[in-house]
Amino acid sequence: MKKFIYVFTALLCAHQITKAQTQQGNQNLSLGLQYYHSSISTNSVQLNPGLAQTDGNKSSTFMIAPSYGFFVANGSEFGGSLSYSNTTQQQITNTYTTNYVTNNNGYSYGLNLFFKKYVMFENKIGFRAGPYIGYSYGKSTTAYSSTISSYGSGVNNTNTFGGGASCELVYYPAKKLGLATTLLGINYTHAKTTGVTPSTADIFNANFVNSGVSLSVFWVLGK
């Protein structure tokens, strides 16, 4: 399996009235972009040639997420973010006589509210941590086909509510440039799907220094 995750946040502007980047009254505006791609292929051969098959699964996800934050006090930021994502997935099963293809296409959009507390040392390096809550709505369409014929499609709608908390390492290598990366994250989501495959799911996740790439870049504007 090959997995490529590129997560980066760019175009982050902050207005400040003093030299400290986290001073009360400052504002943060950011645009986050994420791209994910995975490709899986397996082969199986059995004594009966009619049962030999090849399975393949490819998926790609793109997400864009602008956010805004306001420092309500020194080192205390409150804000919100919007997100939109688009996902495509194709699953292929090749048997000795027939090829089956399943195509999934979907999108989702959501809103998060967050609070972050900054602890900085000499305005150069430190941590920011805090909770967040969010809601998202998604719609996906699944189409089934084979070398024999196209044999159906279906639509699902998913409403997801969730919340969690994260801790990030923050570093300002220059007066007007800051970097942050996630160290610890926990979250809980409740998702309800209606449509051709209705379901309800409750998921809890916790991770420490995620294996994916997570980076935030801050560009500071002001005197």
Cβ within 8 Å of residue 95, ≥6 positions away: 50, 51, 52, 53
Distance between the two ends of the chain, CA-based, in angstroms? 49
∠ CA 154-145-101, nearest 5°, is 100
Residue 223: per-residue pLDDT: 44
- In this predicted model, what pLDDT tens digit does every residue of 120-163 receive, in sequence order? 888 789 999 999 999 999 999 888 877 666 666 789 999 999 99
User: Percent of the chain, pLDDT > 70?
Assistant: 74
- In this predicted model, what pLDDT tens digit does every residue of 161-206 receive, in sequence order? 999 999 989 888 877 677 778 888 899 999 999 988 899 999 998 8
> Domain-by-domain residue ranges, the chain?
2-37+60-91+107-222
Is the confidence at residue 50, as pLDDT, over 60? no
- In this predicted model, what pLDDT tens digit does every residue of 81-95 receive, in sequence order? 999 999 998 887 777
Cα 169 from Cα 179, distance rounded (Å): 8
Number of residues that this document lists for the chain = 223
Residue 137: per-residue pLDDT: 97
* Structure-token pair, residue 155: 């639509």
* Structure-token pair, residue 50: 């009619």
Of residues 223 and 73, the one with the higher pLDDT is: 73
**The whole model's pTM is what?**
0.70
Cβ within 8 Å of residue 219, ≥6 positions away: 11, 12, 13, 14, 176, 177
Cα 183 from Cα 186, distance rounded (Å): 11
Of residues 222 and 27, the one with the higher pLDDT is: 27
Residue 208: per-residue pLDDT: 75
Mean pLDDT lowest among 61-65, 116-120, 201-205, 215-219: 215-219
Residue 122: per-residue pLDDT: 81
